[in-house]
Amino acid sequence: MNFAPLVTPLTARRGRPLTGRIRVPGDKSISHRALILGALAVGATRISGLLEGEDVLNTAKAMRALGARVERTGEGAWRVDGVGVAGFAEPAAPLDFGNSGTGCRLVMGAVAGCPITAIFDGDASLRKRPMRRVLDPVALVGARITNAAEGGRLPITLAGARDPMPILYRTPVPSAQIKSAVLLAGLAAPGTTTVIETEASRDHTELMLRHFGAEVRSEPEGAHGRRISLTGQPELAPSTVAIPADPSSAAFPMVAALIVPGSDVFLPDVMTNPLRTGLIATLRQMGAAIVEEELRHDGGEAMAGFRVRHSALHGVEVPPERAPAMIDEYPILAVAAAFAEGTTVMRGLKELRVKESDRLAATAEMLRVNGIEVEISGDDLAVRGRGRAAGGGLVATHMDHRIAMSALVLGLAADKPVRVDDAGFIATSFPGFADLMRGLGGDIG
């Protein structure tokens, strides 16, 4: 639905050490959820620290189109006047989620429990991504898919259930988006909706549902999984949500500081939910000097400041069960791995194939064009680290913000400049990325 944005190439060059303090923008996952739950509560929810990136702004627009009042009251400050559980109004036009799988899939769940019909659409990247993973469970709830492109892809017309049913659903892949869609649909159903996941995925939906007054229980299931149960038809009470800095965005200045000699960077207020900190654990195992300071709790989520200094890294093996806790961080970990000594093997990356791009292939290609040896075998990625990278490559970003940012971080430490074909998609998750990196001393232009 979006017209192709203007293409903005960008180049990063090696320069002086990175130093200083930057607060990266608010967490993307929590920002989407705050808007959606605010729209399903009755009364005024006040949000501070909202990520004002394109993905989240599209969710805000969708909430408005579904009948909520959504107002920006200051920088990162938003007020949402919700319509109540199952209270969405039928939108007059298709809902356009741009590049965002999270916005689209979560809102599909929320709409599935309402007696309305809505058309879901997105950009060329989102139109390629699998949606059956959400359509299957919402059909069990009682929603009907009256139109979809080939393979169950966008654009999709979804008619929500008149009498939504509570379901017990085992997610076929570890995915917080699938889990969240089922729980959001279950809000409108009577009785208990249960989701079972064999690998625990990020639990922001569960935490925030509780924060808004819903009854949600979460118990361990098997070695790494969880069983989550929601009591349906709660009256969600409007709330105050303070959004911490996004660990998936902090990952970029963090790795930049680790690989640019002489760097010393401080990143305040970063969310430390253990289901999001797999990258930090892995980097520490590789020998990274990352120290936590200023620990605190706010609105159900823990956060800390991270001091990160340039470090001599070594290769490690990253087990598949860590993937859900760092699913968005493999491209930037692969950059850190290139500057380590020895091989880093990342296992169990199947889900990377269905992100904003085929992120497994795009990550390998980003490194290869910059002279780094990589190998994909099955769902595993091996990066041969040599403590340095030649650089000099032009990286195809494939409409993927995380590939663009990872490539630019690589360029800050490589022998020759690294250029990305289109940095425009960075604005989906990390508006101001290049400015913030320049503020630390990075040569990006």
Shortest gap between Cβ of 334 and ligand S3P (angstroms)?
Answer: 16
Q: Is 360 in the site for ligand S3P (CB under 6 A)?
A: no
Instruction: Confirm whether 328 is a catalytic residue.
Output: yes
Nearer to ligand S3P, 59 or 263 (CB): 59
Let me know the angle formed at the C-alpha of 92 by 76 and 89, rounded to the nearest 5 degrees: 70
- How does DSSP assign 94-163, residue by residue? -EE-TT-HHHHHHHHHHHHTSS-EEEEE--HHHHTS--HHHHHHHHHHT-EEEEEETTTEEEEEEE--SS
Cα–Cα dist 146/118, whole Å: 10
Per CB under 6 A, 102 contacts ligand S3P: yes
CB of 437 to ligand S3P, least distance (A): 21
Amino acid (one-letter) located at 316: V
Q: What values do phi and psi take at 416, rounded to 5?
A: -115, 155
Tokens of 231: 């009591």
- Near ligand S3P by CB under 6 A: residue from 175, 194, 311, 370: 175
Our CB check for ligand S3P shows the closer of 177 and 344 to be 177
Minimal distance, residue 55 CB to ligand S3P, in Å: 9
CA distances from 40 to 1, 68, 187, 409, 428 (A): 26, 8, 9, 39, 24
State how far the alpha carbon of 196 is from the alpha carbons of 222, 293, 395, in Å: 10, 35, 39
Q: Is 271 helix (H, G, I), strand (E, B) or coil?
A: strand
Task: Assess 277 for contact with ligand S3P (CB under 6 A).
Answer: no
Among 31, 48, 125, 177, binds ligand S3P (CB under 6 A): 177
In this structure, are residues 115 and 68 in contact, taking their beta carbons and an 8 Å threshold?
no
Cβ distance to ligand S3P smaller for residue 121 or 329: 329
User: Which class for 3: exposed (0-12), middle (13-18), buried (19 or more C-beta within 10 A)?
Assistant: exposed
For ligand S3P, what does the binding mask look like between residues 187 and 206, x meaning CB under 6 A? ---------------x----
Q: 270: helix, coil or strand?
A: strand
Question: Least separation, in Å, of the C-beta of 13 and ligand S3P?
Answer: 29
Catalytically annotated residue among 55, 328, 400, 422:
328
Residue 197 or 311 with smaller CB distance to ligand S3P: 197
**Burial class, 115, CB count within 10 angstroms (exposed 0-12 / middle 13-18 / buried 19+):** middle
**Selected binder of ligand S3P within 328, 329, 365, 400 (CB under 6 A):** 328
In the region spanning residues 21 to 50, those forming contacts with ligand S3P, defined by CB under 6 A, are: 29
Residue 435: partners with Cβ closer than 8 Å, 6 or more residues away: none
Q: Contact with ligand S3P (CB under 6 A): which of 327, 340, 352, 437?
A: 327
Q: Shortest Cβ distance from residue 324 to ligand S3P (Å)?
A: 7
Tell me which of 56, 83, 108, 176 binds ligand S3P, using CB under 6 A.
Answer: 176
Tokens of 297: 């709790």
Stretch that binds ligand S3P, among 174-182, 298-306, 334-342, 404-412 (CB under 6 A): 174-182
Size of the site for ligand S3P (CB under 6 A): 10
Question: Would you tell me which residues interact with ligand S3P (CB under 6 A)?
Answer: 29, 102, 175-177, 180, 202, 327-328, 351
